[in-house]
Amino acid sequence: MASTDVQDDSDDGMDAFMDRFKSQRYKNALSENKWEEEFNKIPMFMKTAPEEIDPKEYPELACLQSIIHDEDRSPEEQAKSLKDEGNSYFKEKNYKYAVVAYTAALKKKCEDQELNAVLLTNRAASHFHLGNMRSALNDAAAAKKIKPDHLKALIRGAQCCMELRNFSGAIQWCDEGLKAHPTDNKLRELRASADKHKRAAERDARKAKIKEKKLHGEKEALLAAIKERGIKLFQPTKSRPEGSDSEGEEERASAGIAQLSLDGLSSQEVTGAQVFLDQQGSLHWPVLFLYPEHQQSDFISAFCENSSFRDHLFVMFGEELPPWDTDRKYHPQNLQVGAFVLFE
């Protein structure tokens, strides 16, 4: 009977508690409308860490952070805590704050060189994802100096060199890594890729040099052809100071004046019109025909020196006259040509 009475009293107490639970709201519970937002403020359930930690808004997180940065602990312990904090930021792809955390850890100047090498390598990875290749390479090099066989540092250094198009440097990093890790596939792949890109870059450099040499030869031949025909090209020059040697000035300018004027004859527009020498040794000039009274023009990109103006006039005004010539005045036999060249 005694046990039954106790059971009845317990049931009565539970019933009373449930009645109060239904009628009274729990003061410290999550709100119905913002429970997800409040749930995300609990450190254990956070999906992302806040950029600014306000102790009033995130009291639990602020408490944990104060524990992490407890100055009473040894530099090694503080550096490890900051490394873990940086790793959390890195997993969230918040590389900027990861760099800050790893930098703070390195500033603790702990004597654990293994930990320092890891911090430098992790910071190198963060810089790499931020696009700071030089900083990433410097950190990888510093980590390698502490621990020459650090695999992640060796791989990261080679990757940075690849991004900086320093393929010879990437090969050197890979070779150093393969001495310590001869079977590592990542280093092997990086070295093969670096070697391929290096040979391609060298090939492109050779092609560019050959092309530059060819263009230089063509320009020299063109200038020689212009000079051979007695064509004189002039550009506006600044007035000479009083008392200067005008004859000497002309002699010094004569060697380069054709080159300067030739550059002025090249167009930077999509037509790409410029004076050139064909395979038969004939010069071709870009020629512009202007009809000011009608505000019209014609352009011939390659006017051969063996052609006459009349040849082109018969093509332009021969069988079919232009629509803007309403008075039908533009017949080849009636036209006179006046030429001028203008250099800016």
The pLDDT, as a whole number, for residue 171 is: 96
Q: Is the model more confident about 263 or about 296?
A: 296
Contacts of 258 (CB under 8 A, 6+ apart): 223, 226, 227, 233
d(CA 163, CA 298): 49
* Average per-residue pLDDT for the chain: 79
In the structure encoding, which two tokens stand for residue 95, read together?
A: 């590389």
Query: CB 223: neighbour CB atoms within 10 A?
Result: 16
The pLDDT, as a whole number, for residue 86 is: 93
37 is a domain residue: no
Residues 174, 74 share a domain: yes
pLDDT band for 120, please (50, 70, 90 cuts). very high
| Global pTM value | 0.55
Is the pLDDT at 18 greater than 80? The verdict is: no
4 is a domain residue: no
CA distances from 142 to 75, 177, 306 (A): 20, 15, 69
Per-residue DSSP letter, 276: E
Is the pLDDT at 340 greater than 50? The verdict is: yes
Task: Report the CATH number that the domain containing residue 195 is assigned in CATH.
Answer: 1.25.40.10
Is the pLDDT at 317 greater than 80? The verdict is: yes
Q: Is 290 helix (H, G, I), strand (E, B) or coil?
A: strand
Q: Determine the average pLDDT of the residues in 92-102.
A: 94
Residue matched to tokens 């395979």: 279
Residues 193, 257 share a domain: no
Q: Determine the average pLDDT of the residues in 130-148.
A: 96
The tens digit of pLDDT for each residue in 36-62 reads: 666 666 665 666 666 666 666 666 666
Q: Is the model more confident about 183 or about 72?
A: 183
242 is a domain residue: no
Could you list the residue range(s) of the whole structural domain that residue 95 is in?
69-201
Contacts of 107 (CB under 8 A, 6+ apart): none
Is the pLDDT at 301 greater than 50? The verdict is: yes
15 is a domain residue: no
Residues 257, 183 share a domain: no
- Of 163, 158, 146, 161, give the one whose Cα is nearest residue 184: 158
The pLDDT, as a whole number, for residue 52 is: 64
The pLDDT, as a whole number, for residue 256 is: 42
Cβ(154)–Cβ(187) below 8 Å: yes
CA distances from 171 to 122, 134, 187, 270 (A): 22, 17, 9, 42
The pLDDT, as a whole number, for residue 302 is: 86
* 147, containing H or E segment: none
Residues 194, 276 share a domain: no
The pLDDT, as a whole number, for residue 252 is: 45
The pLDDT, as a whole number, for residue 73 is: 79
Cβ(284)–Cβ(312) below 8 Å: no
Cβ(305)–Cβ(319) below 8 Å: no
pLDDT band for 147, please (50, 70, 90 cuts). very high
Is the pLDDT at 188 greater than 80? The verdict is: yes
The tens digit of pLDDT for each residue in 226-246 reads: 888 887 766 555 555 555 555
106 is a domain residue: yes
Residues 195, 79 share a domain: yes
206 is a domain residue: no
Alpha-helical runs (H) found in the chain: 2-23, 35-39, 59-68, 75-91, 95-106, 113-130, 133-146, 151-163, 167-180, 185-228, 246-264, 309-317
Is the pLDDT at 162 greater than 70? The verdict is: yes
In the structure encoding, which two tokens stand for residue 142, read together?
A: 């510093």
* 300, containing H or E segment: strand 296-304
Q: How many domains does one find in the chain?
A: 2
* Long-range pairs for 278-283: beta carbons < 8 A, 24 or more residues apart: 278/304, 281/225, 282/306, 283/222, 283/225, 283/226, 283/229
273 is a domain residue: yes
The pLDDT, as a whole number, for residue 222 is: 84
The pLDDT, as a whole number, for residue 136 is: 97
- Of 76, 75, 77, 102, give the one whose Cα is nearest residue 87: 102
d(CA 279, CA 221): 11
Q: Determine the average pLDDT of the residues in 73-90.
A: 91
244 is a domain residue: no
Q: Is the model more confident about 318 or about 189?
A: 189
The pLDDT, as a whole number, for residue 202 is: 93
Q: Is the model more confident about 40 or about 189?
A: 189
Is the pLDDT at 105 greater than 90? The verdict is: yes
Q: Is the model more confident about 204 or about 276?
A: 204
In the structure encoding, which two tokens stand for residue 107, read together?
A: 């500033």
